[in-house]
Structure 1
Amino acid sequence: MIKVGSCGFPVARSRYYKIFRVVEVQSTFYDFVNPDNLRKWRDEAPEDFEFVLKAFQFITHPASSPTYKRARHLKNIKLENLGNFKPTKEVLECYRILKDYATILKTRMIIFQSPPSFKPEKENIKNMENFFNKIDRKDFILGWEPRGKWQSEEIEKICKELSLIDVVDPFLRAPTYGKIFYYRLHGGKGYKHQFTDEELEKLAEMVKDKTGYVMFNNITMFDDARRFLKFCNELDRSLLSG
C-alpha cells in the first residue's frame, strides 16, 4: 500500500484534501511556526489525512546555508550551535519543538534532509549518532535524505545503525535501507522537470507490492501527483492507501 502526495500544498488545502491523503509539511523546515496554525490544519483535514514533517533546517543545516534567509525567529540563538545534527542544547531543543508539532498534527513520519555540505566525515557521522541516540523518538518513523557525495554503503550502514529510512529520489538511486520506502521526486535541476507518462508508469511498477510514500517536489507536483494516482489505479486499485 502506498500514499501519494506533494511536498507542501501546491493548491488550496480544501482542494488538496479532496484528492490526496498525505502532505509533507515544508514550513517546519524553514522556521518555527505558530502551533495554532497546525491545530487548524489538523482540525480541517480528514481524519485519515496524514501530515509528514520535514525537520527544521536548524537541526540539519549550518547557519551559512542560504535557506536561513527565510528564518525569522532566531533572535538570541547561538547560530554556531545549529545544524549538522550537532547534539547541542539548541539543536535538541529544536527537536523537542518539532516533536510538539508532530503531536499536534498526529504525525508518524519525520524527514531529515542534510545538505551537500554535510559530507561523510567522522565528525558528521558522530553528530548523527549522538543526536539520534539522544532524542525521544516516540513511535515516529524517521527518514534521512542525504544530499551530496555519500556512498550507498555508508548510507546503508548509518540507516541500519540508527534505524532510519533511506529517503531517495528513485530516478537517481535505489534506497539502501528501510522497512518502508519514502520517495521524494525532485524533478531534476531547478525542480523544473515534468514527469512523462512513461516515467510515471515506470514508477507505478516500482512501487507495486511495496509499502511507502511517493511525494512529488517539482514545480508541477500537483499535476504529476494526480496523474500518478491515475496510473496506480489503472495498474492495481489495491495499491493505494486510503
Structure 2
Amino acid sequence: MIEIGLCGWGDHSELYRDAGSAKNKLPAYAQWFRVVEVDSTFYAIQSPQTLEKWAAETPENFRFVIKAYQGMTGHARGGKGFHPYESERAMFQAFLDAIEPIRKAGKLLAVLFQYPPWFNCTRPNVNTLRTAKALMGDVPVALEFRHQSWFAPEMREKTLAFTKREGWIHTVCDEPQAGDGSIPIVEATTDDRYTLVRLHGRNTDGWVSAGQPNWRDVRYLYRYHETELAEWAERLKRLEQHTGTVCVLFNNNSGGDAADNALQLMAMLHQLPPRGSFRLPPPPKETAEQLELFD
C-alpha cells in the first residue's frame, strides 16, 4: 500500500477553497489525504487534549506521523538546558503522554526522529539512537539522518543493518545534494510494516540558507516536474514490494507546491483522494504545450 500526504495541514490554502473560512483545516485536509505529518510537536510538546482533538476530527482510517520534539533529537548544540524537563527520561515521557490519545485511537503510524545535520556517524551518536529507541518503548519510530556520513559507501549497508536490527523504520529522503548536510536517496526498507518517504524538494540554494532571513520560506521551495514524479512512482512501487505501507510525505510546501505534487503523484498511481472526486492541478507547462499539439 502507498499512502500519500503532506507535512502539516496549515500551509496548503488551495485545499480549502470550498471549505468556507476553513478555520479548522484538519477535517478538510482529511478529505484529500489519509496521512499527515505533524510538525508542531517538533517545536513544543503539545497537550494530550490537543492530540485528542486531532484524533476526533479525523476518519477512522486516518494516520499521523508525529515529529519528535527537538529536545529529543539534539537540535540545540550542547543540549543542556535546552528543554524544560528535569531529565531526558522525563522529556520522553511527557512526549509519550502527549501522543497517547493518537495512539489509543489507533491512528499513530510512527514518530519521526529527524536528527540534525551535525549528527554524524560516530559511536556516541549510535549510542544516542539506542537510548532514544529504548525510551520510546514499543512505539513505532522512524529514523531520518541529515549527515551524509551515515550513508557513505562504506557505511550504507551497516547503517541499514543497524536500523533494521534496532527496530527503526527507514526514511527514504529526496533532498538537494549539498555536501555533508544532506543524504542521498537510499532506496531500502528496514521494517515489514512501514517505510517512510519524505520529499523535501531539490532547491540546493534554499537548502543551505539556514540562518539567513526567511530561510524557512525558501528551503523547501520546489515543484517536482512530471518526469521526477514518474521516477518516484516507480521507486515507490519497488519499495511497496518489501514493506506493508509506504508513507509518502511532501515537504516542499512553502510555495504551495506540495499539495499539487501530491495529487499529481496520486493520479500517476491511479489513486483518488478520500473525498472520491477532485480537481487535478493544472499540468506542468511543458505537458500543457504537448497536449495542445493534438488540438
TM-score of the superposition, structure 1-length normalised?
A: 0.80
Q: Give SS of 1:120's match.
A: coil
1:162 and 2:176 matched: no
**1:95 aligned to which of 92, 95, 119:** 92
Relative to its length, the structure with more helix (as a share) is 1
1:212-223 alignment runs, 5 A limit: 212-219=246-253, 220-223=257-260
Q: Name the stretch that deviates more: 189-198 or 8-17.
A: 8-17
1:81-160 alignment runs, 5 A limit: 90-106=87-103, 107-133=108-134, 135-138=135-138, 140-149=139-148, 150-151=150-151, 152-160=156-164
1:1-242 alignment runs, 5 A limit: 1-9=1-9, 10-11=11-12, 12-64=25-77, 79-80=79-80, 90-106=87-103, 107-133=108-134, 135-138=135-138, 140-149=139-148, 150-151=150-151, 152-170=156-174, 172-179=184-191, 180-188=194-202, 189=207, 190-208=219-237, 210=240, 211-219=245-253, 220-233=257-270
Shift of 1:153: 3.1
Which runs of 5 or more structure 2 residues have no equivalent in the other structure? 13-24, 176-183, 208-218, 277-295
Residue by residue over 1:28-73, the C-alpha shift from the partner in whole angstroms, topping out at 9 and shown as x without a partner, is: 11112132221111111111111111111101024249xxxxxxxx
What is the letter of the counterpart of residue 159 of structure 1?
T
Q: Give SS of 1:215's match.
A: strand
Residue by residue over 1:217-237, the C-alpha shift from the partner in whole angstroms, topping out at 9 and shown as x without a partner, is: 01221221122111111xxx5
Which runs of 5 or more structure 1 residues have no equivalent in the other structure? 66-78
Residue by residue over 1:195-220, the C-alpha shift from the partner in whole angstroms, topping out at 9 and shown as x without a partner, is: 11111122111112603111000122
1:72 is matched with none
What is the letter of the counterpart of residue 158 of structure 1?
F
- Percent identity reads 29
Q: Give SS of 1:94's match.
A: helix
What is the letter of the counterpart of residue 190 of structure 2?
G
Query: Distance in 2 between the 1:173 and 1:15 partners?
Result: 32
Check the 8 A contact 1:167/1:175 in 2, yes or no.
no
Q: Name the stretch that deviates more: 163-172 or 1-10.
A: 163-172
Query: Distance in 1 between the 2:130 and 2:173 partners?
Result: 24
Q: 1:202 to 1:16 in 2, by over 3 A?
A: same
Query: Distance in 2 between the 1:56 and 1:164 partners?
Result: 17
Shift of 1:142: 1.3
Q: Give SS of 1:178's match.
A: coil
Residue by residue over 1:125-182, the C-alpha shift from the partner in whole angstroms, topping out at 9 and shown as x without a partner, is: 122223323x2422x3211001112222342132023111221214731244412321
Check the 8 A contact 1:168/1:183 in 2, yes or no.
yes
RMSD: 2.6
Shift of 1:82: 5.7
1:75 is matched with none
What is the letter of the counterpart of residue 34 of structure 2?
R
Of structures 1 and 2, the larger Rg is shown by: 2
Say how many residue pairs are matched.
218
